[in-house]
Amino acid sequence: MSRRREFIKQLSFGGLGISLASLHSFTSIKGLVPGPNSGKSLRILFQGDSITDGGRWQNSHDWNHLVGQSYPYLISAKIGYDYPARDLQFFNRGISGNTVRDLKARWQKDCLDIKPDVLSILVGINDISKIIHAQPDPSSIESYEKDYREILDQARKANPDLVLVLMDPFVFNLGSTVADFEKYHESLTAYQKVVKRLAVAFKAIHIPLGEKFKQAEKFTSPSHWSWDGIHPMPAGHELIARGWIKAVSKVIGIY
């Protein structure tokens, strides 16, 4: 029980290690990150790959399947319940298997046309996997950074007050990643540095998920957080959701 209590304590604001990429304290977020007034309605967009997708139906208006079963669902459920009087609209445009290059190809329709006030991105594990497994059409880390920077630049130009949330890709030494875990780990370190560098450049909120899951693994096995080494278990999605809310709440005037 003591280990469990210690982990719950680490889910506190400081324990999650969430920070602005500029490394300033959270008390100064509003002065550093562009953001809408707390009273405004907000359009909150989640972008990424299968971890964000969560099995959603891509061409449906059926709310049983619209948001998916991943962390965007948990975030939208909690915030939507706690702030019913605010016009908070949530959009999930994660697509399984996507790389940054794929995001770039659909950026107009699946980002700019939505006109988000808050844009959250988690992408990179498929970029890494394509290289490790010699899959068709891989892109280098240089291309990853170039394409990522380009879509962020387009989004910020479309909305100078856009709140950007950039989350690090992550992996577990489990299931499909075990045989190549050292390669994954080496690549992840480099890709995570890219995400942090972009967060600094665009004054984005940076959430180092790799570090957070590493902390979580101290308290229980990796299989509690992921079922295959890449995709989170429900508890893993809850960890992401809690971290996201803690990171973003003060910027958008909640909690």
* Torsion of Cα atoms, 204 then 247 then 229 then 138, to 10°: -10
The CATH number of residue 94's host domain is 3.40.50.1110
* Crossing angle of the two packed helices 234-252 and 209-216, in degrees rounded to 10: 130
Q: What span, in angstroms and rounded, lies between the C-alpha atoms of 113 and 36?
A: 18
Q: Please spell the DSSP secondary structure of 40-78, one letter per residue.
A: S-EEEEEEESHHHHTT--TT---TTTSS-SSHHHHHHHH
The type of residue at 182 is E
Q: Which residues lie below 8 Å from residue 67, measured CB to CB, with a gap of 6+? A: 54, 56, 73, 76, 90, 92
Structurally, how many domains does the chain consist of?
1
pLDDT digits (tens, 9 = 90+) for 174-231: 988 888 888 989 999 999 999 999 999 999 999 999 999 999 999 999 999 999 889 9
pLDDT digits (tens, 9 = 90+) for 40-95: 799 999 999 999 998 787 776 777 677 888 999 999 999 999 999 999 999 999 99
Give the pTM.
0.84
Q: Containing domain of residue 58, as a range?
A: 2-252
